[in-house]
């Protein structure tokens, strides 16, 4: 018999996991999202007629073998605290991109519950490999939950029993990835403004060899446009991690602003569509200028 699961958060990650679990024959999956209160919300529309829905955390968490939190960085600790009184003897697996400090606070929030807390660091975008996306597991209960996750089709590896270690790997990597996205955003905005994007891309290809720098640049430019809000929250957590260690976080704090700004442009549809790099740069420049003019008026 397959484990009884709950997915808290029915955004991209939650929808992908539910679909893949269902396709592999896992039947007892409950989903919960605070936006289910609004029938017009994206999670409500995605769940309608497809998923077994719990409208509150109490019913979502009751008698579950595994509760997976896949919300946002800003909501992760709140969800752990709210879920704690309702959890049974199963596992609570947090997949959110948060700092080691937030992980430790979550574990503390669950300390009085019957559930065992596990941190999970998702080490790549969920889209390409979906359920098989690599996940690092951390905390004292990581080894115990691993066989269940393997049975369900997840691809996991251990990061140690210390809570926060998996998150340190994830966020240290994220500083590089989200920083690269922010740098490409500003570099190509400048290059396009002066009409030298072809020369810049050619130079980048010579400096950092890649078979398709134009395609790579478009991909890196598009990610903050589609997921800027979520990435900005993740960089807030990364900055928290750095500052807790008395490390400089100036670049990471700047990334918070870049990703929040790009995510607020409302160009996710264009970024995910077939618009080529130059046209996308032009649309971004136009929308950015429009937003600046509104602030000045």
Q: Which domain range does residue 180 map to? A: 166-296
Residue partners of 103: CB distance under 8 A and separation at least 6: 94, 119, 138, 139, 163, 164, 166, 167
User: What pLDDT score does 274 carry?
Assistant: 87
Q: Are 170 and 116 part of one and the same domain? A: no
Q: Are 185 and 252 part of one and the same domain? A: yes
- Helix, strand and coil content of the chain, in percent to the nearest 5, comes to 60, 10, 30
Q: Are 158 and 19 part of one and the same domain? A: yes
Spatial contact of 163 and 117, defined as CB atoms under 8 Å apart: yes
- Does pTM surpass 0.85? yes
Query: What is the spatial distance between Cα 225 and Cα 58, in angstroms, rounded to a whole number?
Result: 35
- Domain boundary among the residues 127, 162, 197 is at 162
Task: DSSP letter for 96, please.
Answer: S
- Domain boundary among the residues 162, 187, 207 is at 162
Query: What is the spatial distance between Cα 95 and Cα 97, in angstroms, rounded to a whole number?
Result: 7
Q: Are 96 and 20 part of one and the same domain? A: yes
Question: Where residue 104 sits, what CATH number does that domain have?
Answer: 3.40.50.720
Q: Are 113 and 153 part of one and the same domain? A: yes
User: What pLDDT score does 66 carry?
Assistant: 98
Query: What is the spatial distance between Cα 197 and Cα 185, in angstroms, rounded to a whole number?
Result: 12
User: What pLDDT score does 139 carry?
Assistant: 97
Q: Are 143 and 179 part of one and the same domain? A: no
Spatial contact of 27 and 3, defined as CB atoms under 8 Å apart: no
Q: Are 93 and 214 part of one and the same domain? A: no
Q: What is the mean pLDDT of each run of 10 residues along the chain (297 residues)?
A: 92 96 94 95 93 94 96 96 96 98 98 96 95 98 97 96 97 98 98 98 96 97 97 98 98 98 96 94 96 71
Question: Where residue 226 sits, what CATH number does that domain have?
Answer: 1.10.1040.10
User: What pLDDT score does 293 carry?
Assistant: 72
Q: Are 123 and 217 part of one and the same domain? A: no
């Amino acid at each position: 018999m397959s484990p009884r699961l709950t997915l808290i958060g029915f955004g991209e990650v939650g929808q992908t996991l539910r679909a893949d679990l269902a396709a592999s024959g896992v039947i007892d999956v409950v989903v919960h999202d605070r936006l289910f209160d609004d029938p017009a919300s994206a999670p409500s529309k995605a769940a309608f007629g497809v998923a077994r829905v719990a409208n509150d955390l109490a019913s979502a968490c009751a008698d579950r073998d595994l509760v997976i939190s896949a919300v946002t960085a800003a909501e992760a600790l709140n969800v752990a605290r709210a879920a704690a009184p309702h959890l049974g003897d199963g596992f609570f697996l947090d997949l959110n991109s948060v700092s080691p400090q937030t992980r430790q606070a979550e574990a503390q929030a669950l300390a009085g519950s019957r559930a065992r807390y596990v941190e999970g660091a998702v080490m790549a975008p969920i889209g390409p490999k979906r359920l098989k996306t690599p996940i690092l597991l951390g905390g004292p209960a990581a080894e115990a939950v691993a066989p269940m996750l393997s049975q369900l089709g997840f691809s996991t590896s251990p990061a140690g029993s210390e809570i926060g270690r998996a998150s340190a790997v994830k966020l240290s990597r994220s500083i590089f990835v989200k920083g690269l996205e922010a740098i490409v955003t500003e570099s190509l905005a400048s290059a396009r403004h002066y009409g030298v994007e072809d020369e810049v891309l050619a130079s980048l290809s010579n400096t950092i060899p890649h078979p398709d720098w134009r395609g790579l640049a478009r991909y890196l430019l598009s990610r903050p446009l589609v997921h800027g809000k979520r990435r900005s929250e993740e960089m807030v957590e990364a900055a928290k991690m750095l500052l807790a260690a008395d490390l400089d976080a100036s670049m990471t704090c700047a990334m918070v602003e870049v990703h929040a700004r790009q995510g607020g442009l409302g160009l996710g549809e264009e970024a995910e569509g077939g618009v080529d790099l130059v046209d996308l740069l032009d649309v971004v420049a136009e929308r950015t200028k429009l937003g600046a003019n509104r602030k000045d008026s």
